[in-house]
């Protein structure tokens, strides 16, 4: 368990601020739950045969003999609170986020600690694949906002109670034939948790199961349709991803869309965020039959990826430079509209020359710039320039937000 010392706390604050800012744009509000819950909550939700429940929980009996556990993850406590406080009665869609410490009794190593911190988000009440795409867009937006681009989004579908049991049976049969080369852990768990074998990091297990049947080839019609819609919307929103048919998650409650954000910069602890759909979880905990989807980002791993000495003020996403009073007025209205929609935009208020305006954009570290002059006013079109690489795209001034949103 680590102390966060004064010389690195600015990185933590930067990450927390960025998350609050980005998540608010998508309508997520914070929920704070206790770090301690009844043990039973985690056994019932995460699953008895998972690594977390089998070996990683900090569990103890309190003075009245109740079995209590320091939360190993955030989703189950949030669902417990959602049910207990009847949040479903307030709105058909509930969007919650949290930031806080989690506890797992693991072997400590780089990127893996016994107290660690997660920023997470949960969208409850919507089965539509557009919400899956929104969740992934928000995750993508957050990473762009904090300046980490060395991550890749991997997605998969784990099916549902209609199609998974059949597939699971086939996988067990397949694994039975090739038990010998598998590691001891996989030989032990292939019957209770066969999907975990696909996810095993041991090289011999990877090689032996290279041709194992994949869930995405055995989805029922509804799950297949859902997964292809998720991909369709991700394409539409310009969110880059790859399908990883071997990805399974270490928690039993996941169905359908699951995903991980991985990096090659952290050695073997390569996942910086992970999540998925958990339709059925709320009902199984005694709540209404509502679907849900969410993710958790591991903060320690992000801190390892960020340079602690870099300037961590959040940079404006757009600087609008304008020439001529009509253009200045247009720029002012555009900037204000974007701000109202949650985009950090800036412009000049001192009647400076174009050159001086561009110098200021540079100094502020604006991610994009846009110049509006007579020509742009006439055509309604302008060049949106990405400062990092100088690349430009032509945009309609009146649909700027649409062009900008997938980029930030």
- Quick one: how far is CA 210 from the chain centroid? 28
119 Cβ contact partners less than 8 Å away, ≥ 6 residues apart:
15, 16, 19, 97, 98, 99, 296, 297, 299
According to DSSP, residue 367 is labeled S
DSSP string, 303-366: HHHS-TTS--SPPPSEEEEE-SHHHHHHHHHHHHHHHHTT--EEE-SS---HHHHHHHHHHHT-
Closest contact distance (angstroms) between CB of 189 and ligand ATP is 15
Distance between CA atoms of residues 384 and 395, nearest Å: 6
Binding mask 213-252 for ligand ATP (x = CB under 6 A): -------------------------------------x--
Unique residue bearing structure tokens 């949290």: 98
Selected from 31, 158, 163, 272, the binder of ligand ATP by CB under 6 A is: 272
Selected from 106, 127, 222, 224, the binder of ligand ATP by CB under 6 A is: 106
| Touching ligand ATP, residues 291-320 (CB under 6 A) | 296, 298, 300-301
376 Cβ contact partners less than 8 Å away, ≥ 6 residues apart:
327, 382, 397
Q: Please, are residues 108 and 114 in contact by the beta-carbon 8 Å criterion? A: yes
Residue closer to ligand ATP by CB (options 75, 369) is: 75
Residue closer to ligand ATP by CB (options 189, 330) is: 189
Binding mask 27-66 for ligand ATP (x = CB under 6 A): ----------------------------------------
Query: How many residues bind ligand ATP, per CB under 6 A?
Result: 18
Selected from 14, 116, 259, 319, the binder of ligand ATP by CB under 6 A is: 116
Closest contact distance (angstroms) between CB of 241 and ligand ATP is 16
Closest contact distance (angstroms) between CB of 274 and ligand ATP is 4
Distance between CA atoms of residues 330 and 325, nearest Å: 9
Interacting stretch for ligand ATP, rule CB under 6 A, among 25-33, 111-119, 132-140, 312-320? 111-119
Q: Please, are residues 8 and 308 in contact by the beta-carbon 8 Å criterion? A: yes
139 Cβ contact partners less than 8 Å away, ≥ 6 residues apart:
153, 261, 273, 275, 295, 297
Closest contact distance (angstroms) between CB of 225 and ligand ATP is 26
Selected from 53, 123, 223, 271, the binder of ligand ATP by CB under 6 A is: 271
Q: Is 112 in the site for ligand ATP (CB under 6 A)?
A: yes
Closest contact distance (angstroms) between CB of 192 and ligand ATP is 18
What Rg, from alpha-carbon coordinates, does the chain have?
A: 24
**In the chain, what is the straight-line distance between the N-terminal and C-terminal CA atoms, in Å?**
34
In the structure encoding, which two tokens stand for residue 375, read together? 């020509």
Distance between CA atoms of residues 324 and 24, nearest Å: 35
Strand-pair category, 345-347 with 318-322: parallel
Binding mask 317-356 for ligand ATP (x = CB under 6 A): ----------------------------------------
Closest contact distance (angstroms) between CB of 158 and ligand ATP is 13
Helix (H) or strand (E) holding 20: helix 9-25
Binding mask 117-156 for ligand ATP (x = CB under 6 A): -x--------------------------------------
Residue closer to ligand ATP by CB (options 260, 376) is: 260
Closest contact distance (angstroms) between CB of 139 and ligand ATP is 12
Q: Is 95 in the site for ligand ATP (CB under 6 A)?
A: no
Selected from 73, 154, 279, 317, the binder of ligand ATP by CB under 6 A is: 73
Q: Is 269 in the site for ligand ATP (CB under 6 A)?
A: yes
- Note the residues at the interface with ligand ATP (CB under 6 A): 73, 104, 106, 111-113, 116, 118, 250, 269, 271-274, 296, 298, 300-301
């Amino acid at each position: 368990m680590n102390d966060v010392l004064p010389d690195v706390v600015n990185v933590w604050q930067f990450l927390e601020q960025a998350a609050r800012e980005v998540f608010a744009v998508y309508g997520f509000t914070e929920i704070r739950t206790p770090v301690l819950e009844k043990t039973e909550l985690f056994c019932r939700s995460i699953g008895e045969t998972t690594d977390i429940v089998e070996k990683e929980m900090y569990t103890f009996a309190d003075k009245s003999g109740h079995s209590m556990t320091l939360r190993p993850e955030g989703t189950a406590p949030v669902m417990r609170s959602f049910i207990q406080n009847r949040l479903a009665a307030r709105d058909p869609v509930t969007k919650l986020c949290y930031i806080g410490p989690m506890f797992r009794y693991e072997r400590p190593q780089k990127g893996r600690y016994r107290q660690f911190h997660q920023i997470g988000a949960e969208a409850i009440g919507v089965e539509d694949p557009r919400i899956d795409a929104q969740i992934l867009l928000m995750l993508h937006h957050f990473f762009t906002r904090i300046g980490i681009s060395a991550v890749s989004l991997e997605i998969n579908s784990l099916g549902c109670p209609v199609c998974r049991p059949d597939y699971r049976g086939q996988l067990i049969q397949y694994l039975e034939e090739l038990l010998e080369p598998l590691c001891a852990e996989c030989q032990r768990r292939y019957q209770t948790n066969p999907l975990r074998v696909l996810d095993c990091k041991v090289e011999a297990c990877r090689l032996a199961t290279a041709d194992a049947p994949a869930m995405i080839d055995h989805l029922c019609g509804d799950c297949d349709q859902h997964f292809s819609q998720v991909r369709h919307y991700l394409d539409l929103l310009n969110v880059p991803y790859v399908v990883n048919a071997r990805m399974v998650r270490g928690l039993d409650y996941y169905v359908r869309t699951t995903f991980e954000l991985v990096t090659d910069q952290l050695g073997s602890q390569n996942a910086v965020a992970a999540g998925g759909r958990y339709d059925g979880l709320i009902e199984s905990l005694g709540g209404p039959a509502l679907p849900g989807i969410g993710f958790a980002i591991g903060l320690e791993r992000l801190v390892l990826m960020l340079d602690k000495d870099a300037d961590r003020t959040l940079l404006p996403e757009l600087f609008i430079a304008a020439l001529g009073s009509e253009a200045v007025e247009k720029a002012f209205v555009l900037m204000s509209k974007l701000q109202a929609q949650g985009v950090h935009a800036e412009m000049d208020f001192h009647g400076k020359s174009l050159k001086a305006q561009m110098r200021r954009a540079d100094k502020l570290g604006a991610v994009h710039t846009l110049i509006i002059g007579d020509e742009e006013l006439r055509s309604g079109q302008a060049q949106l320039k990405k400062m990092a690489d100088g690349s430009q795209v032509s945009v309609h001034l009146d649909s700027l937000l649409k062009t900008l949103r997938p980029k930030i």
